Chain A
Amino acid sequence: MLVVDRHGRLVRANDAARPILPGAASGVRLHEQVPAWLADAHQQIVETAPPSTVTRALRGNIGDRFFEAHPTVGADGDVMWWLVDDTDRRLAETALSDVRRRSEVLSAVSSTLLSTLNVPRCMEVAAAMAAEHLAEAAVLVAPPQGRRCPLTFARQGAPVVQTTRQVDVAGVPGLAEALQGFPPVPARWINPADIPDWVLPEGFAGPIGSVIVAPLPGHGVPAGALILLRSSTEQAFTEGEEVFARLFAARAGAALSAARLYTEQATITATLMQDLLPPALHRVHGVEYAGSYRASRDHERVGGDFYDVHPGTGPSQETLVVLGDVAGKGLDAAVMTGKIRNTLHALLPLAENHEHVLNLLNGALLTSRHARFATLVLASVRRRADRVRLRLTSAGHMPPLIVRNDGAVEEAATKGTLVGALPAVAARTVETELAPGETCLLYTDGITEARGGPLVDELFGEERLKRALAECVRMPAEAVVERVQMIAAQWLSGGRHDDMAVVAISAPKAGAPTVADGQGGGRPGRSRSSE
């Protein structure tokens, strides 16, 4: 409490006021002792306020503390100033609004970052937001790819710059550790003078005043590190800001590693898909082949259907056709598909005994971890004079259908066990011949289990397939395949479907050219080009 007379001289200061105003003694002039806001207010009250009134409270600093000042004008014109220390409440309010602002920033960080699964974009947004809310400039260092690190520079009010550079990670205190996911080094331990120049974004108004290096924790593996910079003209990072920076980094790290995981998986899927694309087929050693593959529209899933044609080493040798379907979906199914195709390729020399090949394949696929299986059809094909000899074996798959010239559609009488799940498999191989113009069709259950038709949910079924094939008498292989896919597609009429694979093997009609083997053009299936 202070009592000040109308001339601005201190009349009295109580015990509580003395520690705040050490020079306060009666008679001293107020404006020499207190900040201008209080001295000016006193002057104004003396000039304007009538005696015996209480006027509005004022607020301001005295020294490093914050006060509310309540003036009361006495009858004699002296003003009694009640100073109420409001520092703690003010600090709490500031802290509260800081916390509110920070949690708003954090939730903005999460929602902005998690909405993108593109890694460079994610790094760009994280760096930009860090520069906007945490520091003057931010540098996001991604884990090194080989010897080079992807770097993202952001500066307040400047566009984000992304580059990949070979940098000396060990040159920045705490950065090497942060990139390995170790806890951050406290900012006060980092000497700004130690920061190498490569960290500074272009246009940064140095010199650096304070630095935070925070790891970006990912899912088990670090997603990188964030370097926050303030120039020496700005306030240094406080402990609270450092904690906040770590929270920010945690959110950014989670989003970044989600994006990175997604990108990795998408890349793997694309790589596998590329290898799983069915080969283009055509005439080999006087036999016509045609194939078509319609992948399921579930884009994120790699299909489990496949086919391959391995041409014989010469016209007198058998060509092996494989068509199959791996149970399940996704990456696991794709990996198994690849394994089957490669194993069968290696087993080609043994193809004269289909059952033996299937048992070797079965053994290669068998694992105690799961019972994922595949069903497939093997067809060994050789032309003799104008007829085509076929050896057909089903391993748990729909038997091939043969379209005869008289319009009959026969089911090959082959039967066998699926591969990959049982300790041993059995299979019965059948032999048959195609007269010129006749076709043998291998297909997967995507065709027969296509749901649609007039009742929307009806299976296409084997009977309909046979009827459709009966209309394909004497058609070339390519036309048969196209017709089957077209009819199945019409049946679906836009509905969802599984993978659909079809391969047709036809004996060319008499008079059709048989010399042009077509080995010269295109990609002859998975041909053994070296022999």
Chain B
Amino acid sequence: MSSLPPTEFSLTVRCEATTLTVLIGGELDHETSDELLSEVSEQLSAGHPPFRDVHLDFGKMTFIDSSGLTALLMIHRRTSAIGAGLHLDNRPPTLERMLQLTNVLDHLTTPPTRTGDQRAEEDDGAGVT
């Protein structure tokens, strides 16, 4: 009795008009999350016309750790910077729970209010209210 070999990490990219869809398969962890971030960043900078919506599909993702979440947060900064909306589709329970626990689901999926070329969010700085 041995555990099944982990599914190979994979990214499948689909571009349709102004929608970018990335299917994530396998484990999104500290070894693979950089790959996701650079793939999405590359697609975003290459998109003509700019993407309005970016869908990340987690239907085939088997595992996510804190590095994976870091990548999602970075991707959100990139999509916000170009005014695109981020959609996290087919979330498995582990991801759902992680997003709830860390309280970032709303932040990641709220449609961008600012548009275009403004810097996304870093300039809010300390954020003391």
A residues adjacent to B (C-beta < 8 A) = 325, 327-329, 356, 359-360, 362-364, 366-368, 370-373, 375, 396-398, 415-418, 421-426, 455-457
The reply to whether the CB of B49 lies closer than 8 angstroms to some CB of chain A is no
* Cβ B129 vs Cβ A424 within 8 A: yes
Residues of A within 8 A of B126 (CB): 359-360, 362-364, 366
Instruction: With A422-B104, A456-B3 as known contacts, state yes or no: A373 contacts B122, CB within 8 Å.
Output: no
**Chain A: minimal CB distance from B114 (Å):** 12
Q: How many residues of B contact A (CB 8 A)?
A: 26
Q: Which of A373, A396, A398 counts the most chain B CB atoms within 10 A?
A: A396
B1-19 contacts to A (CB < 8 Å): 1-3
Residue of B nearest to A327 (CB): B66
Distance A86 CA – B2 CA, assembled complex (angstroms):
72
Kindly identify which residue among B66, B74, B77, B129 contacts A325, using a CB–CB cutoff of 8 Å: B66
Contact A418–B104 (Cβ < 8 Å): yes
B102-A457 in contact (CB<8A): no
Q: Say whether, besides A396-B103, A415-B103, A456-B3, A373 and B69 are in contact (CB < 8 Å).
A: yes
Question: Cα distance A362–B102 when bound, in Å?
Answer: 14
Contact between B77 and A356 (Cβ–Cβ < 8 Å)? no
The 8 tightest CB contacts between A and B, nearest first, are A363-B126, A424-B127, A327-B66, A423-B124, A396-B102, A371-B73, A457-B3, A368-B122
Q: In the complex the two chains form, is B66's CB within 8 Å of A417's CB? A: no
- The 29 listed contacts between A and B (C-beta, < 8 Å) are A325-B66, A327-B66, A329-B30, A329-B67, A356-B128, A359-B126, A359-B127, A359-B129, A360-B126, A360-B128, A362-B126, A362-B127, A363-B127, A363-B128, A367-B122, A368-B77, A370-B74, A371-B70, A371-B71, A373-B73, A396-B101, A415-B101, A417-B103, A421-B104, A422-B104, A423-B122, A424-B127, A424-B128, A456-B1
Q: From A371, A398, A424, A426, name the one whose CB has the most chain B CB atoms within 10 angstroms.
A: A371
B117 at interface (Cβ–Cβ under 8 A)? no
Contact call A456/B129, Cβ cutoff below 8 A: no
* Cβ contact within 8 Å between B104 and A396: yes
Chain B, Cβ-Cβ closest to A396: B102
- Chain B interface (Cβ within 8 Å of chain A)? 1-3, 30, 66-67, 69-71, 73-74, 77, 101-104, 107, 119, 121-122, 124-129
Cβ contact of A422, chosen from B3, B71, B101, B121, cutoff 8 A: B121
Count of CB-CB pairs between chains A and B under 8 Å: 90
Q: Is the CB of A421 within 8 A of B101?
A: no
Q: In the complex, what residues of B have CB within 8 A of residue A366's CB?
A: 122, 125-127
Known: A327-B69, A366-B122. A397 touches B77 (CB 8 A): no
Known contacts A422-B107, A457-B3; decide if A375 and B102 are in contact (CB<8 Å).
Answer: yes
List A contacts of B77 (CB < 8 A).
368, 371
Expressed in whole angstroms, the Cα–Cα distance for A445 and B122 within the complex equals 28
Q: Which residues of B contact A415 (CB under 8 A)?
A: 101, 103
Closest to B126 in A: A363
Distance of B98 from chain A, by nearest CB (Å): 9
Among A356, A359, A421, the residue within 8 A (CB) of B70 is A421
Q: Taking the nearest CB of chain B, how far is it from the CB of A497, in angstroms?
A: 13
Most chain B CB inside 10 Å of its own CB: which residue of A327, A328, A359:
A327
Whole-angstrom CA separation of A416 from B124 in the bound complex: 19
The answer to whether B107 and A328 touch across the interface, beta carbons within 8 angstroms, is: no
A359 with B3, Cβ < 8 A, contacts A370-B74, A397-B101 known:
no
Contacts of B2 in A (CB 8 A): 456
Known contacts A370-B70, A396-B104, A418-B102, then 14 further A-B pairs from the complex at CB < 8 Å, ordered by chain A residue? A325-B66, A327-B66, A359-B127, A362-B126, A363-B126, A366-B126, A375-B102, A416-B103, A422-B121, A423-B121, A423-B124, A424-B124, A426-B103, A455-B3
